[in-house]
Amino acid sequence: MKVTAALPSGVSALFFDSARQRRGLEENLVELLEGCGYGEVVLPILDYLEPYEPLLSTGARGELYRFIDRDGEQLALRADFTPMLARLLAPRLPSMELPLRFFYRGDVVRYHEERPGRQRESYQMGAELLGVEGESAEQEIFELFLSMLTTCGLPDVRVVLGFAGSLGGLATACVGDDGAADFLAAIDRRERRILQGLDGPPGKAVREVLEDGLPQDLEALGSEMAESIRAVANLREDLQHRFPEFQLNIDLAEFAGVSRPDDGFRSTSARSYYDGLLFRAYCAGGAQPVGGGGRYDSLFRSLGAKVAAVGFSLSMERVLAVPETLQRAGRLCGGVTP
């Protein structure tokens, strides 16, 4: 067999300067995390498949690399840190002192159709906060997320905020329960054709979401959801003052495909365990987010544990694909930048 330097689609290797640049930035981020009281956890890249089956959406199941080991067990490569952490921590929580603040780093492997900027193997860094109720936890973790973006030196950062399931009631009002899932998927893809035939307040609200990210009258989302979106708006306003170099916007269409586990809608999102605040960061007009996260209390409830949980992750490949970040990383480690 002829030996070549080719690698499977969607994976890559780092040599010399590239490796030093990533490690230099990574250690700077670790210093920030540890300075904020977050301790490191190290997780395996291989796990049993069975415990995750009830937690997987159709999208997440399609991303998994699965196989049978020599003992006949179904195994999977790690595709997401958060469910693995939740599964390992849920039975241990009664003996642990809350709150828990921890971070992780390592590879995740997901099957994707080949597209620019989408790797099948990705190196992530992320942080999780467990056991702090309400808006204070969201403020802490979102501020930490923005601080990590600042440390990376990313230019032209746009951060989009939303709330899981925020458009479910509006979708039902427009097309009924049976058509709500497909309607939400169309909003997620920003298909304006769905506006055809819609009239009255629900149709007007959908049009405003597609155009401006929010309906002018938040009560069109239902009183409970309107209150949740007001809390997101307060968080956005507070952090915008602290991070004026970033553009922070609320856009409910961005997360239309993320339904809460108890909404009864089929989620179009691979990561369907979120049930509250959501956020994603984009850089310099990039089509793929460099990171994101949110609240996921229901993931622990599905595992028999009641605990407040919020967290995020950053894709180091996408962060380091930005020239300004490469230059900053090169200065951190004394390497040569392109």
| Domain CATH for 171 | 3.30.930.10
**First CA to last CA across the chain, in angstroms?**
35
Confidence of residue 336 (pLDDT cuts 50, 70, 90): very low
Same domain, 274 and 248: yes
Same domain, 271 and 327: no
Q: Indicate the number of domains in the chain.
A: 2
Neighbours of 94 (CB within 10 A): 7
Same domain, 313 and 248: no
Confidence of residue 273 (pLDDT cuts 50, 70, 90): confident
DSSP symbols for 6-70: ---TT-----THHHHHHHHHHHHHHHHHHHTTPEE----SEEESGGGGGG--HHHHHH--EEE-T
- Residue 266 maps to a domain: yes
- Residue 324 maps to a domain: yes
Q: pLDDT tens digit string along 18-51?
A: 999 999 999 999 999 999 999 999 999 999 999 8
Neighbours of 207 (CB within 10 A): 15
Q: Which residue range forms the structural domain that includes residue 337?
A: 15-156+304-338
Would you call 160 helix, strand, or coil by DSSP? Answer: strand
Same domain, 55 and 151: yes
Q: What separation in angstroms does the CA of 152 have from each of 34, 109, 287, 305?
A: 16, 23, 18, 35
Same domain, 152 and 163: no
Highest mean pLDDT among 113-127, 264-278, 304-318: 304-318
Confidence of residue 255 (pLDDT cuts 50, 70, 90): very high
Q: Give the DSSP letter of residue 267.
A: P
- Residue 296 maps to a domain: no
Q: What is the mean pLDDT of residues 112-135?
A: 87
Cis? peptide before 99, omega within 30° of 0? yes
Q: What is the mean pLDDT of residues 53-81?
A: 88
Give the residue from 161, 174, 166 showing the smallest Cα distance to 207. 174
Predicted pLDDT at 60: 79
Predicted pLDDT at 338: 37
Confidence of residue 337 (pLDDT cuts 50, 70, 90): very low
**Greater model confidence, 320 or 323:** 320
Same domain, 149 and 27: yes
Same domain, 214 and 101: no
Same domain, 27 and 91: yes
Predicted pLDDT at 270: 52
Q: Among 84-93, 265-274, 315-324, which is the least confidently predicted range? A: 265-274
Residue 327: pLDDT over 80: no
Same domain, 167 and 262: yes
Same domain, 27 and 50: yes
- Residue 208 maps to a domain: yes
The dihedral sign for the CA sequence 116, 121, 124, 128? positive
- Residue 4 maps to a domain: no
Predicted pLDDT at 247: 97
Q: pLDDT tens digit string along 280-297?
A: 999 987 889 999 999 999
Predicted pLDDT at 52: 83
Q: pLDDT tens digit string along 143-183?
A: 999 999 999 999 999 999 999 999 999 999 999 988 998 99
Residue 258: pLDDT over 50: yes
Q: What is the mean pLDDT of residues 224-233?
A: 97
Residue type, 53: E
Share of the chain above pLDDT 70, in %: 91
For residues 241 and 235, give the distance between their C-alpha atoms in angstroms, rounded to a whole number: 10
Predicted pLDDT at 267: 52
Q: What is the mean pLDDT of residues 234-252?
A: 97
Q: What is the mean pLDDT of the chain?
A: 90
CA torsion 314-319-321-322 (nearest 10°) is: 150
Same domain, 40 and 146: yes
Same domain, 34 and 83: yes
